[in-house]
Amino acid sequence: MTAVLVSLIAVAGTLLGSFSTFLFQQRTARRAEAVAAAERRRQERLTAYSDFAAALTELRRAVVTVWLRREDPAARKEAHAEADRLGALAGAALFRMRLVSGRPEPLADAAFALIDPLSEAADLPDLKTRETAFETALSAFIASAAERLSR
């Protein structure tokens, strides 16, 4: 009888140990999944933010090229077509970034809004001033995005 009782206690101890190990492993796996999901979201935001900044920088370059070629109708038309194409890509990058971030992006909107005024510059110094304003706005967006990504 004592041997049976000892065996039952051993089996119960083994089962209890196995069950507690299962619970701890399950909890650890859930925690690891949550950390991995958070890192995937952070990587998606990083990609969306950097793609937007790159697209906006390319669009700025194209708009400035249109402005610089304003005296040559054929070259201006070609540059304008490129600027339109890059504008569509920048708009798509903005929409993707908004979807991924899940929040309003006023600094991104402010930088995007400074693209059109580039084409309205009166002369080269005015163009440089407008480019500086754009670069300042884009830098503010990048700094804000970097801060959010570091959390």
Question: Quick check: is 70 in a domain?
Answer: yes
pTM: 0.81
Whole-angstrom distance, CA of residue 65 vs CA of residue 119: 9
Question: Quick check: is 56 in a domain?
Answer: yes
Question: Quick check: is 96 in a domain?
Answer: yes
Whole-angstrom distance, CA of residue 20 vs CA of residue 43: 35
Whole-angstrom distance, CA of residue 144 vs CA of residue 111: 13
Question: Quick check: is 47 in a domain?
Answer: yes
The answer on pLDDT for 65 being more than 80 is yes
Tally the domains of the chain: 1
- With a pLDDT cut of 90, the percent of the chain lying above it is 71
Range of the domain at 61: 41-150
Written as one string, the DSSP assignment of 94-128 is HHHHHHHHTS--HHHHHHHHTSHHHHT-SSHHHHH
